[in-house]
Structure 1
Amino acid sequence: MQSSSRASIGRPGGFFVVSAAVALALPAIGFGRSFVVPWSRGQLTPSPLLVAHAVAFFAWVVLLLVQALLVRGRRVDLHRRLGWAGVGLAVLMLGTGLAVALGSTARALAEGGGPAASGFLLRLLLELGLFAAFAGVGIALRRRPEAHRRLMLLATMSLMAAASARVPLLVDWPIAVMLVLVGSLAVFDLADRRRVHAATLWGGAALMSVQLAWQPLSETRTWQATAPWLLGALELLPRGG
């Protein structure tokens, strides 16, 4: 029984290492091109809040890769200790991500961005909500490694649409990118377990639903009325804007 358990840990290690490497490569290429390079050249002056969010984002995906490598190397003890850093990063990402999303939308609306700006806010809020749900449940289920590792990967996948939108060849294909990411996890499940894990099934369905539904929902009168009210209530939108 013990040897079977060890084999089960060993088999999926490679898949999750590769998945984490892809999750690191997408934002490194996308945000490196649109954020890091212009900043280093003095063409961009980001706010401290935006810098904090960017640092937290990259730290999260680097930590995901490190954690996958630790499991692959059977250093579960160190993996568990580092996991608490992930909790702090998740909280920091949510706080800074929400503030950045609301602030940038408020400025865009004040400058006449209109429905497109408030629509993009809905997408960001839904993606942050999925990240919080997956990461929170994944942390709660840390004693159930098969569910835990899938939920933490799904939490990271929920952030990949924004990253892939900044990669030139992928900018027009956010739904396809998400389908490939979710589909690869489902295919792995079928190969490794002969069935799709419940976390993959429900988490993947939630990710795809957000990508398919955010734009139609953002065009409804309800959301177009809610977005300015939400920003105004938080005093991020100038009065009368």
Structure 2
Amino acid sequence: MAINDLPVDSIPSSGIKPNRNFEHRFFAAFAAVFVIAVLVGFGPTFYLKPLFNTPPIPRAIIWIHGFVMAAWVVLFVAQVYFISSKRIKVHQKLGIVGVIIAPLLVVTGLFLTIAAAKYGTAAAPPNIPPLSFMIVPFGDLLVFAVLFAAAMYYRKNSPNHKRLILLTMLCVLPPAIARFPGGLTDSFGPLWFFGVPTLLTIVFIGADTWRTGKLNKAFLVGGVFLVAAMWLRLPLSSTLLWLDFATWITS
């Protein structure tokens, strides 16, 4: 993961320092909020489990995927720090770690998704068949993989790259906020765990366009893809095409 692969001395200094300072503060704030969201959502059942009286983790794949996800979040925070502190070379070298962690995140997530559909999971709504609900985490993994691949393709294009990385983080936000306490998911369902990332995507693209005076096309296309993939999963979850695929992959 490399939010900015351009050498420092290749970036013009006149007129862009305020924008760059704002971007550094924004990414730092987003990283902090994202970490808080993950701890609130997954803390009681995983990351802070010793502090809570929650049921034991039933399968090893949950541990493995959880630690890979933690590594991804730590890497994102570290990369934001290195860019903000102008340690560009370290940031670039550390980018290879993201190329290793991202596929591991997808692969372990896929195994976890299949296991959850076959054996059940407390995270699944009781009134939705497991094979239908499987489209939610499966879609997250697919969209994450596409957005990360696009971010790597644009790794030499800093404006495109860092915006696509931001979208990959929004892509993995729903599982965390779906587990927030207070019954928000039970009360609002997808309007909560898909609605929040959708709203953030729209706000981020709109604010970015207003601030820079131009629309970043990669940000727009990636954002539309992210949002569309979230909401199209709901009607697709009960189609024969999806159910046949889900049956095949879990068999």
Letter in 2 for 1:208: V
**TM, length-normalised to structure 2:** 0.83
* C-alpha spacing 1:59/1:184, structure 2 compared with 1 (3 Å): farther
Task: Give the letter for the 2:200 counterpart.
Answer: L
Counting aligned pairs with the same residue, the percent is: 27
Matched, 1:75 2:87: yes
- Decide whether aligned partners of structure 1 residues 216 and 39 sit closer, same or farther in structure 2, where only a CA change above 3 A counts: farther
Unaligned runs of at least 5 residues, structure 1: 233-241
Between the aligned partners of 1:88 and 1:185, the Cα distance in structure 2 is 28
Q: How does 1:178-189 map to 2 (within 5 A)?
A: 178-189=197-208
Contact 1:94 1:132 in 2 (8 A): yes
Report if the CA contact (8 A) 2:45-2:54 is conserved.
no
Residue matched to 2:106: 94
Choose which of 10, 13, 36 in structure 2 pairs with 1:3.
13
Residue 77 (structure 1) shift: 1.0
Task: Give the match for residue 4 of structure 2.
Answer: none
Shift of 1:5: 7.4
Question: Which structure has the highest helix share of the two?
Answer: 1
Q: Which amino acid aligns with 1:103?
A: A
Q: Please give the residue correspondences for 1:1-150 in structure 2 after superposition, counting only pairs within 5 Å.
A: 2-4=12-14, 7=17, 8-38=19-49, 41=53, 43-108=55-120, 116-150=129-163
1:220 aligns with 2:239: yes
Q: What are structure 2's unaligned runs of at least 5 residues?
A: 1-10
Q: Which moved more, 1:218-227 or 1:141-150?
A: 218-227
Could you list the per-position Cα deviations for residues 14-61 of structure 1 after superposition, in whole angstroms to 9, with x for gaps in the alignment?
A: 111112222222111100023334466573134222111101112211
Structure 1 position 158, deviation (Å)? 0.7
Distance 1:68 1:35 in 2: 25
How many Å apart are 1:114 and its aligned residue? Answer: 8.8
Q: Cα RMSD over matched residues?
A: 2.3
Deviations 1:103-158 (A, max 9, x none): 1111139xxx8952112211211110111111112122211111111111111111
Number of corresponding residues: 229
Distance 1:188 1:223, change over 3 A: same
SS of the equivalent of 2:134 reads helix
Match for residue 151 of structure 1 among 145, 164, 169: 164
